[in-house]
Chain A
Amino acid sequence: MAYPAAVRDAWRAELAGIREKGIFKDERFIHSPQAARITVEYPAGAPLKEVVNLCANNYLGLSSHPAVVAAAHRALDERGYGMSSVRFICGTQDVHRALEEKLTAFLGTEDTILFASCLDANAGVFEAILGPEDVMISDRLVHASIVDGIRLCKAMHDTYKHCDMAHLEEKLREHQDKRVRVVITDGVFSMDGDMAPLDEIVALAEQYRALVFLDDSHATGFIGRTGRGVHERFGVMGKIDILTTTLGKALGGASGGCVSGRKEIVDLCRQRARPYLFSNAVPPPIAASAIAVLDILSATTARRDALEANAAFWRAGLKDAGFVIKDGDSPIVPVMLFNAKLAQEVARDLYDEGVYVVGFFFPVVAAGQARIRTQLSADHDIPMLERALEAFKKVGAKHGILGLDKKGIIEKYGL
Protein backbone atom coordinates (compact mmCIF):
# COMPACT_ATOMS: atom_id res chain seq x y z
CA MET A 1 0.00 0.00 0.00
CA ALA A 2 1.49 3.23 -1.03
CA TYR A 3 -1.00 6.00 -1.43
CA PRO A 4 1.03 9.01 -0.35
CA ALA A 5 -0.78 11.85 1.39
CA ALA A 6 0.68 14.31 -1.10
CA VAL A 7 -0.91 12.41 -4.01
CA ARG A 8 -4.26 12.22 -2.22
CA ASP A 9 -4.10 15.95 -1.51
CA ALA A 10 -3.25 16.75 -5.12
CA TRP A 11 -6.24 14.81 -6.43
CA ARG A 12 -8.50 16.31 -3.77
CA ALA A 13 -7.38 19.75 -4.94
CA GLU A 14 -8.21 18.79 -8.53
CA LEU A 15 -11.71 17.70 -7.49
CA ALA A 16 -12.17 20.92 -5.53
CA GLY A 17 -11.14 22.83 -8.64
CA ILE A 18 -13.80 21.05 -10.70
CA ARG A 19 -16.41 21.95 -8.07
CA GLU A 20 -15.25 25.57 -7.92
CA LYS A 21 -15.65 25.93 -11.66
CA GLY A 22 -19.23 24.71 -11.29
CA ILE A 23 -18.68 21.79 -13.68
CA PHE A 24 -18.77 18.91 -11.21
CA LYS A 25 -21.09 16.20 -12.50
CA ASP A 26 -23.56 14.94 -9.90
CA GLU A 27 -25.43 11.75 -10.66
CA ARG A 28 -29.16 11.56 -10.07
CA PHE A 29 -30.70 8.33 -8.87
CA ILE A 30 -33.58 7.03 -10.94
CA HIS A 31 -35.93 4.66 -9.12
CA SER A 32 -37.85 3.42 -12.17
CA PRO A 33 -37.13 1.80 -15.55
CA GLN A 34 -35.83 4.11 -18.29
CA ALA A 35 -38.88 5.75 -19.90
CA ALA A 36 -40.49 9.00 -21.01
CA ARG A 37 -41.62 9.49 -17.41
CA ILE A 38 -39.25 8.51 -14.61
CA THR A 39 -39.05 8.67 -10.81
CA VAL A 40 -35.98 10.56 -9.64
CA GLU A 41 -34.18 11.14 -6.34
CA TYR A 42 -32.37 14.46 -6.68
CA PRO A 43 -30.43 15.69 -4.90
CA ALA A 44 -29.42 12.53 -3.06
CA GLY A 45 -31.80 11.92 -0.16
CA ALA A 46 -34.53 14.25 -1.51
CA PRO A 47 -38.09 12.90 -1.83
CA LEU A 48 -38.77 10.98 -5.05
CA LYS A 49 -40.27 13.02 -7.85
CA GLU A 50 -41.97 11.96 -11.06
CA VAL A 51 -40.66 13.94 -14.02
CA VAL A 52 -40.85 13.96 -17.82
CA ASN A 53 -37.51 12.75 -19.15
CA LEU A 54 -36.19 14.89 -21.99
CA CYS A 55 -32.54 13.82 -21.90
CA ALA A 56 -32.41 10.08 -22.60
CA ASN A 57 -31.11 8.51 -25.80
CA ASN A 58 -34.17 6.25 -25.60
CA TYR A 59 -35.31 7.59 -28.99
CA LEU A 60 -37.64 4.73 -29.87
CA GLY A 61 -38.88 4.04 -26.34
CA LEU A 62 -37.54 0.47 -26.51
CA SER A 63 -35.33 0.50 -23.40
CA SER A 64 -38.10 -1.02 -21.28
CA HIS A 65 -40.38 -2.34 -24.04
CA PRO A 66 -42.11 -5.64 -23.02
CA ALA A 67 -40.96 -7.53 -26.14
CA VAL A 68 -37.36 -6.44 -25.57
CA VAL A 69 -37.43 -7.33 -21.87
CA ALA A 70 -39.06 -10.71 -22.70
CA ALA A 71 -36.35 -11.52 -25.25
CA ALA A 72 -33.71 -10.81 -22.61
CA HIS A 73 -35.49 -13.09 -20.12
CA ARG A 74 -35.68 -15.89 -22.68
CA ALA A 75 -32.00 -15.60 -23.57
CA LEU A 76 -31.07 -15.48 -19.91
CA ASP A 77 -32.84 -18.82 -19.44
CA GLU A 78 -31.60 -20.42 -22.65
CA ARG A 79 -28.09 -18.97 -23.13
CA GLY A 80 -27.13 -17.78 -19.66
CA TYR A 81 -25.93 -14.52 -18.14
CA GLY A 82 -22.40 -13.98 -19.41
CA MET A 83 -19.76 -15.64 -21.56
CA SER A 84 -16.69 -15.37 -19.32
CA SER A 85 -14.66 -15.15 -22.50
CA VAL A 86 -13.68 -12.95 -25.38
CA ARG A 87 -15.29 -13.85 -28.69
CA PHE A 88 -12.41 -15.78 -30.27
CA ILE A 89 -11.74 -18.13 -27.37
CA CYS A 90 -15.16 -19.46 -26.33
CA GLY A 91 -17.38 -16.37 -26.31
CA THR A 92 -19.28 -16.61 -29.60
CA GLN A 93 -22.82 -18.00 -29.42
CA ASP A 94 -25.40 -18.42 -32.16
CA VAL A 95 -27.07 -15.20 -30.93
CA HIS A 96 -23.91 -13.18 -31.66
CA ARG A 97 -23.75 -14.48 -35.22
CA ALA A 98 -27.50 -13.93 -35.68
CA LEU A 99 -27.26 -10.34 -34.41
CA GLU A 100 -24.30 -9.54 -36.64
CA GLU A 101 -26.21 -10.87 -39.65
CA LYS A 102 -29.33 -8.88 -38.71
CA LEU A 103 -27.32 -5.67 -38.29
CA THR A 104 -25.66 -6.21 -41.68
CA ALA A 105 -29.06 -6.57 -43.34
CA PHE A 106 -30.59 -3.64 -41.43
CA LEU A 107 -27.71 -1.25 -42.13
CA GLY A 108 -27.28 -2.36 -45.75
CA THR A 109 -23.59 -3.25 -45.44
CA GLU A 110 -21.39 -6.24 -46.26
CA ASP A 111 -20.61 -7.53 -42.76
CA THR A 112 -20.71 -6.59 -39.06
CA ILE A 113 -18.67 -7.19 -35.92
CA LEU A 114 -19.99 -6.55 -32.40
CA PHE A 115 -18.04 -4.67 -29.74
CA ALA A 116 -18.76 -4.14 -26.05
CA SER A 117 -19.71 -0.56 -26.90
CA CYS A 118 -19.58 1.88 -29.80
CA LEU A 119 -16.79 3.63 -27.91
CA ASP A 120 -14.83 0.38 -28.23
CA ALA A 121 -15.72 0.09 -31.92
CA ASN A 122 -14.46 3.63 -32.55
CA ALA A 123 -11.39 3.07 -30.39
CA GLY A 124 -10.43 -0.10 -32.25
CA VAL A 125 -11.28 0.25 -35.91
CA PHE A 126 -8.75 2.84 -37.13
CA GLU A 127 -5.74 1.17 -35.58
CA ALA A 128 -6.85 -2.19 -37.02
CA ILE A 129 -6.84 -1.01 -40.64
CA LEU A 130 -4.66 2.10 -41.05
CA GLY A 131 -0.94 2.81 -40.81
CA PRO A 132 1.53 5.68 -41.13
CA GLU A 133 1.04 5.91 -44.90
CA ASP A 134 -2.67 6.76 -44.47
CA VAL A 135 -4.66 9.81 -43.35
CA MET A 136 -7.83 10.24 -41.30
CA ILE A 137 -9.73 13.46 -42.03
CA SER A 138 -12.41 14.13 -39.42
CA ASP A 139 -15.16 16.67 -38.91
CA ARG A 140 -14.19 18.90 -35.97
CA LEU A 141 -17.29 17.98 -33.99
CA VAL A 142 -17.04 14.18 -34.10
CA HIS A 143 -17.71 12.27 -30.90
CA ALA A 144 -15.00 11.99 -28.24
CA SER A 145 -14.68 8.22 -28.78
CA ILE A 146 -13.66 8.83 -32.41
CA VAL A 147 -11.06 11.33 -31.25
CA ASP A 148 -9.70 8.61 -28.95
CA GLY A 149 -9.67 6.06 -31.78
CA ILE A 150 -7.82 8.49 -34.03
CA ARG A 151 -5.27 9.17 -31.29
CA LEU A 152 -4.58 5.45 -30.94
CA CYS A 153 -3.86 5.07 -34.65
CA LYS A 154 -0.51 5.75 -36.30
CA ALA A 155 -2.00 7.23 -39.47
CA MET A 156 -1.73 11.00 -39.97
CA HIS A 157 -4.82 12.92 -38.94
CA ASP A 158 -6.35 16.15 -40.07
CA THR A 159 -9.65 17.89 -39.42
CA TYR A 160 -12.16 19.96 -41.39
CA LYS A 161 -14.56 22.63 -40.22
CA HIS A 162 -17.89 21.25 -39.08
CA CYS A 163 -19.90 20.11 -42.13
CA ASP A 164 -17.86 22.46 -44.37
CA MET A 165 -17.58 20.65 -47.69
CA ALA A 166 -15.25 23.21 -49.31
CA HIS A 167 -12.82 22.76 -46.44
CA LEU A 168 -13.11 18.97 -46.65
CA GLU A 169 -12.35 19.12 -50.37
CA GLU A 170 -9.28 21.26 -49.66
CA LYS A 171 -8.06 18.62 -47.20
CA LEU A 172 -8.77 15.72 -49.57
CA ARG A 173 -6.73 17.52 -52.25
CA GLU A 174 -3.90 18.15 -49.81
CA HIS A 175 -3.66 14.47 -48.89
CA GLN A 176 -3.72 12.88 -52.34
CA ASP A 177 -0.24 11.47 -51.72
CA LYS A 178 -1.47 9.12 -48.99
CA ARG A 179 -2.28 5.43 -49.51
CA VAL A 180 -5.74 5.56 -47.92
CA ARG A 181 -7.82 8.62 -47.10
CA VAL A 182 -10.73 8.19 -44.68
CA VAL A 183 -13.33 10.90 -44.21
CA ILE A 184 -14.71 10.59 -40.69
CA THR A 185 -18.04 12.00 -39.56
CA ASP A 186 -20.94 11.51 -37.19
CA GLY A 187 -24.33 11.03 -38.85
CA VAL A 188 -26.29 13.13 -36.36
CA PHE A 189 -24.01 15.31 -34.23
CA SER A 190 -24.89 14.64 -30.63
CA MET A 191 -24.59 18.15 -29.21
CA ASP A 192 -26.13 20.14 -32.09
CA GLY A 193 -28.61 17.61 -33.49
CA ASP A 194 -27.66 18.52 -37.06
CA MET A 195 -26.76 16.00 -39.75
CA ALA A 196 -23.68 15.52 -41.89
CA PRO A 197 -24.43 16.15 -45.60
CA LEU A 198 -23.63 12.54 -46.37
CA ASP A 199 -24.53 12.66 -50.07
CA GLU A 200 -21.97 15.43 -50.58
CA ILE A 201 -19.39 13.64 -48.44
CA VAL A 202 -19.81 10.43 -50.47
CA ALA A 203 -19.54 12.40 -53.75
CA LEU A 204 -16.30 14.05 -52.58
CA ALA A 205 -14.97 10.72 -51.35
CA GLU A 206 -15.61 9.17 -54.75
CA GLN A 207 -13.99 12.11 -56.54
CA TYR A 208 -10.87 12.03 -54.36
CA ARG A 209 -10.73 8.25 -53.81
CA ALA A 210 -11.41 8.26 -50.09
CA LEU A 211 -13.27 5.90 -47.77
CA VAL A 212 -16.21 7.15 -45.71
CA PHE A 213 -16.53 6.45 -41.98
CA LEU A 214 -19.89 7.17 -40.36
CA ASP A 215 -20.78 6.97 -36.66
CA ASP A 216 -24.54 6.71 -36.75
CA SER A 217 -25.15 6.16 -33.05
CA HIS A 218 -27.68 9.01 -32.83
CA ALA A 219 -29.51 7.89 -35.99
CA THR A 220 -29.69 4.09 -36.28
CA GLY A 221 -33.27 2.95 -35.89
CA PHE A 222 -35.02 6.22 -36.69
CA ILE A 223 -33.36 8.52 -39.25
CA GLY A 224 -34.33 7.80 -42.87
CA ARG A 225 -37.68 6.60 -44.17
CA THR A 226 -37.31 3.13 -42.66
CA GLY A 227 -34.97 4.14 -39.83
CA ARG A 228 -31.75 2.70 -41.24
CA GLY A 229 -29.80 5.86 -40.54
CA VAL A 230 -28.36 9.01 -42.07
CA HIS A 231 -27.09 7.04 -45.08
CA GLU A 232 -30.69 6.11 -45.89
CA ARG A 233 -31.82 9.71 -45.35
CA PHE A 234 -29.30 10.95 -47.95
CA GLY A 235 -29.72 8.06 -50.40
CA VAL A 236 -26.21 6.64 -49.99
CA MET A 237 -26.88 3.23 -48.44
CA GLY A 238 -24.27 0.73 -49.61
CA LYS A 239 -21.70 3.51 -50.06
CA ILE A 240 -20.50 3.76 -46.49
CA ASP A 241 -17.25 1.84 -46.05
CA ILE A 242 -17.17 1.89 -42.23
CA LEU A 243 -20.32 2.42 -40.19
CA THR A 244 -20.19 2.30 -36.42
CA THR A 245 -23.25 2.43 -34.24
CA THR A 246 -24.53 1.54 -30.79
CA LEU A 247 -27.08 -0.75 -29.22
CA GLY A 248 -27.03 1.62 -26.25
CA LYS A 249 -29.39 4.28 -27.57
CA ALA A 250 -32.43 3.62 -29.80
CA LEU A 251 -31.78 -0.12 -30.19
CA GLY A 252 -32.77 -1.12 -26.66
CA GLY A 253 -30.37 1.11 -24.80
CA ALA A 254 -28.41 -1.52 -22.84
CA SER A 255 -24.88 -1.54 -24.22
CA GLY A 256 -22.87 -2.87 -27.14
CA GLY A 257 -21.86 -1.43 -30.47
CA CYS A 258 -20.53 -2.52 -33.81
CA VAL A 259 -18.40 -1.88 -36.84
CA SER A 260 -20.39 -2.61 -39.98
CA GLY A 261 -19.14 -2.14 -43.52
CA ARG A 262 -16.70 -3.61 -46.03
CA LYS A 263 -16.05 -7.27 -45.38
CA GLU A 264 -12.25 -6.98 -45.28
CA ILE A 265 -12.44 -4.15 -42.74
CA VAL A 266 -14.71 -6.22 -40.49
CA ASP A 267 -12.41 -9.24 -40.89
CA LEU A 268 -9.36 -7.16 -39.95
CA CYS A 269 -11.19 -5.88 -36.86
CA ARG A 270 -11.85 -9.51 -35.85
CA GLN A 271 -8.12 -10.21 -36.14
CA ARG A 272 -6.66 -7.01 -34.75
CA ALA A 273 -9.04 -4.60 -33.01
CA ARG A 274 -7.77 -4.53 -29.44
CA PRO A 275 -11.07 -3.70 -27.68
CA TYR A 276 -12.59 -6.69 -29.52
CA LEU A 277 -9.73 -9.07 -28.77
CA PHE A 278 -9.29 -8.13 -25.15
CA SER A 279 -12.79 -7.63 -23.76
CA ASN A 280 -15.73 -9.91 -23.19
CA ALA A 281 -18.40 -10.89 -25.67
CA VAL A 282 -21.66 -8.94 -25.48
CA PRO A 283 -23.82 -10.77 -22.87
CA PRO A 284 -26.38 -13.15 -24.42
CA PRO A 285 -29.50 -11.33 -23.11
CA ILE A 286 -28.32 -8.08 -24.70
CA ALA A 287 -27.57 -9.74 -28.04
CA ALA A 288 -30.96 -11.49 -28.04
CA SER A 289 -32.84 -8.32 -27.16
CA ALA A 290 -31.10 -6.39 -29.91
CA ILE A 291 -32.34 -9.04 -32.36
CA ALA A 292 -35.87 -8.50 -31.01
CA VAL A 293 -35.45 -4.73 -31.50
CA LEU A 294 -34.34 -5.15 -35.12
CA ASP A 295 -37.30 -7.46 -35.75
CA ILE A 296 -39.68 -4.79 -34.39
CA LEU A 297 -38.05 -2.07 -36.50
CA SER A 298 -38.01 -4.18 -39.65
CA ALA A 299 -41.73 -4.97 -39.30
CA THR A 300 -43.05 -1.42 -38.80
CA THR A 301 -41.93 2.19 -38.94
CA ALA A 302 -44.58 3.23 -36.37
CA ARG A 303 -42.04 4.13 -33.69
CA ARG A 304 -39.73 6.21 -35.85
CA ASP A 305 -42.81 7.92 -37.33
CA ALA A 306 -44.09 8.79 -33.83
CA LEU A 307 -40.64 10.08 -32.87
CA GLU A 308 -40.50 12.26 -35.98
CA ALA A 309 -43.93 13.73 -35.19
CA ASN A 310 -42.96 14.38 -31.54
CA ALA A 311 -39.72 16.09 -32.58
CA ALA A 312 -41.52 18.33 -35.09
CA PHE A 313 -44.13 19.29 -32.45
CA TRP A 314 -41.43 20.03 -29.87
CA ARG A 315 -39.26 22.12 -32.20
CA ALA A 316 -42.23 24.21 -33.34
CA GLY A 317 -43.42 24.64 -29.74
CA LEU A 318 -40.07 25.88 -28.46
CA LYS A 319 -39.65 28.21 -31.43
CA ASP A 320 -43.14 29.68 -31.02
CA ALA A 321 -42.45 30.19 -27.32
CA GLY A 322 -39.47 32.37 -28.22
CA PHE A 323 -36.50 30.13 -27.42
CA VAL A 324 -33.34 30.06 -29.53
CA ILE A 325 -32.95 26.50 -30.80
CA LYS A 326 -30.50 24.87 -33.17
CA ASP A 327 -32.16 24.12 -36.48
CA GLY A 328 -32.29 20.57 -37.72
CA ASP A 329 -34.64 17.66 -38.19
CA SER A 330 -33.39 15.15 -35.67
CA PRO A 331 -34.90 14.36 -32.26
CA ILE A 332 -32.01 16.23 -30.60
CA VAL A 333 -33.22 19.80 -30.01
CA PRO A 334 -30.70 22.06 -28.25
CA VAL A 335 -32.14 25.08 -26.46
CA MET A 336 -29.38 27.69 -26.66
CA LEU A 337 -28.63 29.72 -23.52
CA PHE A 338 -24.94 30.57 -24.28
CA ASN A 339 -24.13 31.34 -20.62
CA ALA A 340 -23.11 28.28 -18.53
CA LYS A 341 -24.62 29.52 -15.27
CA LEU A 342 -27.90 30.36 -16.96
CA ALA A 343 -28.03 26.86 -18.49
CA GLN A 344 -27.58 25.30 -15.05
CA GLU A 345 -30.21 27.53 -13.45
CA VAL A 346 -32.76 26.89 -16.18
CA ALA A 347 -32.18 23.12 -15.87
CA ARG A 348 -32.66 23.29 -12.10
CA ASP A 349 -35.86 25.35 -12.41
CA LEU A 350 -37.22 22.94 -15.02
CA TYR A 351 -36.64 20.04 -12.63
CA ASP A 352 -38.74 21.88 -10.04
CA GLU A 353 -41.43 22.12 -12.72
CA GLY A 354 -41.29 18.36 -13.39
CA VAL A 355 -39.03 18.31 -16.45
CA TYR A 356 -35.71 16.47 -16.35
CA VAL A 357 -33.04 18.09 -18.56
CA VAL A 358 -29.32 18.79 -18.16
CA GLY A 359 -27.29 21.90 -18.96
CA PHE A 360 -24.22 21.43 -21.20
CA PHE A 361 -21.32 23.88 -21.29
CA PHE A 362 -17.58 24.15 -21.95
CA PRO A 363 -15.66 21.85 -22.32
CA VAL A 364 -18.49 19.52 -23.46
CA VAL A 365 -19.53 22.19 -25.98
CA ALA A 366 -17.55 25.23 -27.19
CA ALA A 367 -17.14 28.14 -24.78
CA GLY A 368 -20.09 30.54 -25.00
CA GLN A 369 -22.33 27.85 -26.48
CA ALA A 370 -23.99 26.60 -23.27
CA ARG A 371 -27.30 24.92 -23.83
CA ILE A 372 -29.93 22.50 -22.64
CA ARG A 373 -30.05 19.51 -24.94
CA THR A 374 -33.55 18.12 -25.19
CA GLN A 375 -34.09 14.70 -26.73
CA LEU A 376 -37.39 13.30 -27.86
CA SER A 377 -38.66 9.75 -27.63
CA ALA A 378 -41.38 7.81 -29.44
CA ASP A 379 -42.74 7.16 -25.94
CA HIS A 380 -43.52 10.83 -25.30
CA ASP A 381 -47.09 11.80 -26.15
CA ILE A 382 -48.41 15.21 -27.13
CA PRO A 383 -50.14 16.02 -23.78
CA MET A 384 -46.85 15.18 -22.01
CA LEU A 385 -44.92 17.46 -24.37
CA GLU A 386 -47.53 20.21 -23.99
CA ARG A 387 -47.03 20.16 -20.23
CA ALA A 388 -43.26 20.22 -20.68
CA LEU A 389 -43.60 23.21 -23.03
CA GLU A 390 -45.62 25.06 -20.39
CA ALA A 391 -42.79 24.41 -17.93
CA PHE A 392 -40.22 25.73 -20.42
CA LYS A 393 -42.32 28.86 -21.01
CA LYS A 394 -42.69 29.49 -17.28
CA VAL A 395 -38.96 29.11 -16.62
CA GLY A 396 -38.04 31.07 -19.77
CA ALA A 397 -40.27 33.94 -18.62
CA LYS A 398 -38.76 33.85 -15.14
CA HIS A 399 -35.30 34.39 -16.63
CA GLY A 400 -36.58 36.93 -19.16
CA ILE A 401 -35.18 35.15 -22.21
CA LEU A 402 -38.33 34.45 -24.24
CA GLY A 403 -38.16 36.27 -27.56
CA LEU A 404 -34.50 37.21 -27.11
CA ASP A 405 -32.03 36.22 -29.83
CA LYS A 406 -28.42 35.14 -29.25
CA LYS A 407 -27.26 38.74 -28.97
CA GLY A 408 -30.05 39.61 -26.53
CA ILE A 409 -29.32 36.67 -24.22
CA ILE A 410 -25.58 37.42 -24.25
CA GLU A 411 -26.24 41.12 -23.51
CA LYS A 412 -28.40 40.14 -20.56
CA TYR A 413 -26.29 37.33 -19.09
CA GLY A 414 -22.85 37.63 -20.65
CA LEU A 415 -20.85 34.66 -21.90
Chain B
Amino acid sequence: MKELILDYIKREYLDADDAGDAPLTADTPLISSGIVDSFSMVSLKRFLEKQYAIRIPDEEATPQAFDTVTSIVGLVARHLPKTGA
Protein backbone atom coordinates (compact mmCIF):
# COMPACT_ATOMS: atom_id res chain seq x y z
CA MET B 1 0.00 0.00 0.00
CA LYS B 2 2.84 2.37 0.94
CA GLU B 3 4.48 2.13 -2.47
CA LEU B 4 1.23 2.69 -4.31
CA ILE B 5 0.41 5.82 -2.29
CA LEU B 6 3.97 7.14 -2.59
CA ASP B 7 3.80 6.68 -6.36
CA TYR B 8 0.53 8.55 -6.56
CA ILE B 9 1.88 11.45 -4.47
CA LYS B 10 4.99 11.71 -6.64
CA ARG B 11 2.91 11.71 -9.82
CA GLU B 12 0.21 14.06 -8.53
CA TYR B 13 2.20 16.57 -6.52
CA LEU B 14 5.87 16.64 -7.47
CA ASP B 15 7.25 18.59 -10.42
CA ALA B 16 10.09 17.50 -12.69
CA ASP B 17 12.40 20.06 -11.06
CA ASP B 18 11.80 18.50 -7.64
CA ALA B 19 13.78 15.45 -8.78
CA GLY B 20 17.04 16.69 -7.24
CA ASP B 21 15.47 17.22 -3.82
CA ALA B 22 15.60 14.67 -0.98
CA PRO B 23 13.69 11.52 -1.95
CA LEU B 24 10.15 11.14 -0.68
CA THR B 25 9.70 8.45 1.98
CA ALA B 26 6.75 7.15 3.99
CA ASP B 27 7.73 9.51 6.82
CA THR B 28 8.36 12.70 4.82
CA PRO B 29 6.03 15.43 6.09
CA LEU B 30 3.78 16.27 3.17
CA ILE B 31 1.46 19.04 4.25
CA SER B 32 3.41 20.69 7.08
CA SER B 33 6.43 20.89 4.72
CA GLY B 34 4.43 22.39 1.87
CA ILE B 35 4.88 19.46 -0.59
CA VAL B 36 1.10 19.03 -0.66
CA ASP B 37 -0.98 22.09 0.16
CA SER B 38 -4.10 21.38 2.17
CA PHE B 39 -6.24 22.77 -0.66
CA SER B 40 -4.89 20.23 -3.15
CA MET B 41 -5.28 17.35 -0.70
CA VAL B 42 -8.74 16.54 -2.12
CA SER B 43 -7.41 14.58 -5.07
CA LEU B 44 -5.37 12.35 -2.73
CA LYS B 45 -8.49 11.68 -0.66
CA ARG B 46 -10.45 10.78 -3.79
CA PHE B 47 -7.64 8.50 -4.98
CA LEU B 48 -7.61 6.61 -1.68
CA GLU B 49 -11.40 6.25 -1.64
CA LYS B 50 -11.47 4.92 -5.19
CA GLN B 51 -8.42 2.71 -4.89
CA TYR B 52 -9.49 1.02 -1.66
CA ALA B 53 -13.26 1.31 -2.11
CA ILE B 54 -13.64 3.14 1.18
CA ARG B 55 -15.22 6.38 2.32
CA ILE B 56 -13.11 8.73 4.45
CA PRO B 57 -15.36 11.13 6.38
CA ASP B 58 -14.40 14.80 5.92
CA GLU B 59 -13.78 15.24 9.63
CA GLU B 60 -11.08 12.54 9.45
CA ALA B 61 -9.42 14.00 6.34
CA THR B 62 -7.34 16.43 8.39
CA PRO B 63 -3.96 17.86 7.42
CA GLN B 64 -2.52 15.86 10.37
CA ALA B 65 -3.97 12.56 9.12
CA PHE B 66 -2.60 13.24 5.64
CA ASP B 67 0.80 14.51 6.73
CA THR B 68 2.83 11.36 6.07
CA VAL B 69 2.28 8.23 4.03
CA THR B 70 2.59 6.23 7.25
CA SER B 71 -0.31 8.12 8.82
CA ILE B 72 -2.32 7.86 5.59
CA VAL B 73 -1.83 4.07 5.60
CA GLY B 74 -3.14 4.01 9.17
CA LEU B 75 -6.18 6.04 8.18
CA VAL B 76 -6.97 3.79 5.22
CA ALA B 77 -6.48 0.64 7.32
CA ARG B 78 -9.06 1.84 9.83
CA HIS B 79 -11.65 2.05 7.07
CA LEU B 80 -10.88 -1.18 5.23
CA PRO B 81 -13.48 -3.91 5.78
CA LYS B 82 -12.33 -6.39 8.41
CA THR B 83 -11.47 -9.75 6.86
CA GLY B 84 -11.18 -13.20 8.41
CA ALA B 85 -12.49 -14.34 11.77
Interface residues of A (CB under 8 A from B): 140, 147, 150, 157-159, 161-162, 164, 362-363, 366-367
Contacts and interface: CB of A to CB of B under 8 A. Distances in A.
Contacts of B80: none
B39 A159 contact: yes
Contacts of A147: 39
How many chain B residues sit at the interface, stated as a range, is under 10
21 contacts: A140-B37, A140-B39, A140-B40, A147-B39, A150-B39, A157-B42, A158-B42, A158-B43, A159-B39, A159-B40, A159-B42, A159-B43, A161-B13, A161-B15, A162-B15, A164-B15, A362-B34, A363-B34, A366-B34, A367-B33, A367-B34
A46 B33 CA distance: 37
Interface string B22-59: 00000000000110010110110000000000000000
Contacts of A161: 13, 15
Contacts of B42: 157-159
B46 to A, nearest CB: 8
Contacts of B13: 161
Which 7 A-B pairs give the minimum distances between C-beta atoms? Answer: A367-B34, A159-B40, A366-B34, A147-B39, A158-B43, A140-B40, A161-B15
A362 B33 CA distance: 10
**From A150, A159, A162, residue with most partner B Cβ within 10 Å:** A159
Contacts, number: 21
Contacts of B33: 367
Interface of B: 13, 15, 33-34, 37, 39-40, 42-43
**From A140, A162, A362, A363, residue with most partner B Cβ within 10 Å:** A140
Nearest to A407: B20
Nearest to A368: B34
Contacts of B34: 362-363, 366-367
A126 to B, nearest CB: 14
Given A159-B43, A164-B15, 7 more contacts: A150-B39, A159-B40, A159-B42, A161-B13, A161-B15, A162-B15, A367-B33
B42 to A, nearest CB: 6
A59 B33 CA distance: 34
A147 B38 CA distance: 11
Contacts of A159: 39-40, 42-43
Nearest to B43: A158
A167 to B, nearest CB: 8
A162 B42 CA distance: 16
Nearest to A138: B39
A147 B39 CA distance: 8
Nearest to A362: B34
A391 B33 CA distance: 34
B41 to A, nearest CB: 9
Contacts of B40: 140, 159
A367 B77 CA distance: 31
Contacts of B37: 140
**From B37, B39, B43, residue with most partner A Cβ within 10 Å:** B39
Contacts of A164: 15
Contacts of A140: 37, 39-40
A366 B13 CA distance: 13
A387 B15 CA distance: 37
A330 B43 CA distance: 31
B36 to A, nearest CB: 10
Nearest to A363: B34
A296 B13 CA distance: 44
A162 B17 CA distance: 12
